[in-house]
Amino acid sequence: MSCLMVERCGEILFENPDQNAKCVCMLGDVRLRGQSGFPAERRGSYPFIDFRLLNNTTYSGEIGTKKKVKRLLSFQRYFHASRLLRGIIPQAPLHLLDEDYLGQARHMLSKVGMWDFDIFLFDRLTNGNSLVTLLCHLFNTHGLIHHFKLDMVTLHRFLVMVQEDYHSQNPYHNAVHAADVTQAMHCYLKEPKLASFLTPLDIMLGLLAAAAHDVDHPGVNQPFLIKTNHHLANLYQNMSVLENHHWRSTIGMLRESRLLAHLPKEMTQDIEQQLGSLILATDINRQNEFLTRLKAHLHNKDLRLEDAQDRHFMLQIALKCADICNPCRIWEMSKQWSERVCEEFYRQGELEQKFELEISPLCNQQKDSIPSIQIGFMSYIVEPLFREWAHFTGNSALSENMLSHLAHNKDQWKSLLPRQHRSRDSSGSGPDHDHAGQETESEEGTAREGDSP
């Protein structure tokens, strides 16, 4: 085996125990070089779902020649690597992508704040680059590029890195999901009860956290990583394993791209900390913690959005809502997300069965139907959170619209339930009743990383 040199972009140290204080290397930021010196693709925790990796066996895939590596890259990535990333700057940096937009994509961006925004169509119109295109547009329209004096080419480079660190082979946890969550976050940031208090930093943090909240997701859940003794589970001591990895990988890419290198060190450290706090809030094991706290604030009427701490808490709630908002979309889109996430569950179940592991809850295609999974998820995870969000917004038009879609979609899934389950569901003891009100592995399987559609 040829000798390889490993480059790491550094380490980070956080003192907050809530954020799993330890000094770690950026796992998502490791690059390998062969004798030719040509960098291979970014290597995350899961190039593919490979049982050798899950058992901590060293993965030593061959580093091919420059020509072979190029064949692994999409045309879009090679185009940016060979032109934009070499410093060929367009004449109009704030509209870097405009020349590549189709007319329909441009028209869609003019309505990006509408709740019926079709992210699947937008992804097709942008040739699979929905996340990069959307973020460039939102950073521009929110005035973040000007306010933070960001270099557009550097921003674009960072966003390409984020998009490419999502695994396109995942049916659900891919860059389209990230773009969908980002579009939802944009809608929530515009809610009148919140928008008037937000600073440019709040908006940038919300958009960045939404875009990167599932980066390098392996397509399996935390219990799977733990029972296969995966190195990430060991590293993060079985606590918020995936969320910690998403966060640390994001910081690695921020540092490698040097997007914020011109800002004061204290400011960049604060941004990294707040990004961590936002991304870690998407851990479904903390659902009751956040829901209880939100209810208390609303009951006591003591939210003071002039205070940075309370604004940050509501950004956490907004991200949690955006992460699991698929049941609140129109039926046609919601159904697609439901089918995608269940396909990801079933793939995990098949992998567990293949290697004679216990099949995780909701991952057995023979026993766990899509309608039953979705009804349980909507009843015990989505509805409680979105009711409180509607309370916070004062039952805004968007909140009422989302709750209306949620009720309609739940009825649609009930009509598709196998006949033997319908009487149970109508009596109020739906198919996931045994898992209600507690943080079980079933709930992890359903929504652990925004798994719900």
Could you tell me the CATH number of the domain that includes residue 304?
A: 1.10.1300.10
Alpha carbons 138 and 140: distance in angstroms, whole number: 5
The answer to whether residue 114 is domain-embedded is yes
245-280 pLDDT tens trace: 999 999 999 999 999 999 999 999 999 999 999 999
Sign of CA dihedral 258, 259, 263, 266: negative
- The dihedral formed by the CA atoms of 281, 173, 253 and 322, expressed in degrees to the nearest 10: -40
pLDDT-derived band at 205 (thresholds 50, 70, 90) equals very high
Alpha carbons 341 and 450: distance in angstroms, whole number: 9
pLDDT-derived band at 103 (thresholds 50, 70, 90) equals confident
The answer to whether residue 399 is domain-embedded is no
Cβ-contact 382, 328 below 8 angstroms: yes
Whether the pLDDT of residue 40 is over 90: the answer is no
pLDDT of residue 418: 74
The answer to whether residue 332 is domain-embedded is no
CA–chain centroid gap for 20, Å, is 20
Alpha carbons 150 and 399: distance in angstroms, whole number: 33
Cβ-contact 172, 337 below 8 angstroms: yes
The answer to whether residue 110 is domain-embedded is yes
pLDDT-derived band at 303 (thresholds 50, 70, 90) equals very high
Tokens of 364: 């057995």
Cβ-contact 72, 41 below 8 angstroms: yes
Task: Give the pTM.
Answer: 0.77
Q: Alpha helix (H) ranges present in 114-240?
A: 119-125, 130-141, 144-147, 152-164, 175-189, 192-195, 200-212, 222-227, 231-235
Q: Give me the numbers of helices (H) and strands (E) for the chain, helices first please.
A: 23, 4
Annotated binding residues for AMP, written as ranges, equal 173-177, 214, 323, 374
The answer to whether residue 365 is domain-embedded is no
pLDDT of residue 293: 98
375-425 pLDDT tens trace: 999 999 999 999 999 999 999 999 999 999 999 999 999 999 976 565 555
Cβ-contact 90, 154 below 8 angstroms: no
Q: Alpha helix (H) ranges present in 258-330?
A: 265-280, 287-300, 308-323
Q: Does residue 450 sit in helix, strand or coil?
A: coil
Cβ-contact 192, 113 below 8 angstroms: no
pLDDT of residue 7: 34
pLDDT-derived band at 333 (thresholds 50, 70, 90) equals very high
| Residue 408: active-site member | no
Whether the pLDDT of residue 47 is over 60: the answer is no
> pLDDT higher for 112 or 423?
112
What's the average model confidence in pLDDT over 221-242?
96
How many independent structural domains does the chain possess?
1
Cβ-contact 250, 279 below 8 angstroms: yes
Q: What is the mean pLDDT of the chain?
A: 80
Q: Using alpha carbons, select from 328, 337, 387 the residue that is nearest to residue 115.
A: 328
Annotated binding residues for Zn(2+), written as ranges, equal 177, 213-214, 323
Cβ-contact 220, 49 below 8 angstroms: yes
The answer to whether residue 450 is domain-embedded is no
Least confident of 89-98, 133-142, 191-200: 89-98
Phi, psi of 24 (to 5 degrees): -130, 155
The one catalytic residue among 137, 173, 217, 245: 173
> What percentage of residues in the chain have a pLDDT greater than 70?
70
The one-letter amino acid code at 100 reads: D
The answer to whether residue 317 is domain-embedded is yes
Q: Using alpha carbons, select from 167, 168, 169, 172 the residue that is nearest to residue 344.
A: 172
What's the average model confidence in pLDDT over 216-238?
97
Whether the pLDDT of residue 75 is over 50: the answer is no
Q: Using alpha carbons, select from 330, 340, 321 the residue that is nearest to residue 405.
A: 330
Instruction: Determine the structural domain holding residue 304 and report its residue range.
Output: 100-323
Q: Does residue 111 sit in helix, strand or coil?
A: coil
pLDDT of residue 18: 42
The answer to whether residue 315 is domain-embedded is yes
CA–chain centroid gap for 126, Å, is 19
> How many Cβ atoms from other residues are within 10 Å of residue 269's Cβ?
13
Q: Using alpha carbons, select from 274, 250, 242 the residue that is nearest to residue 28.
A: 250
Whether the pLDDT of residue 212 is over 50: the answer is yes
Annotated binding residues, written as ranges, equal 173-177, 213-214, 323, 374
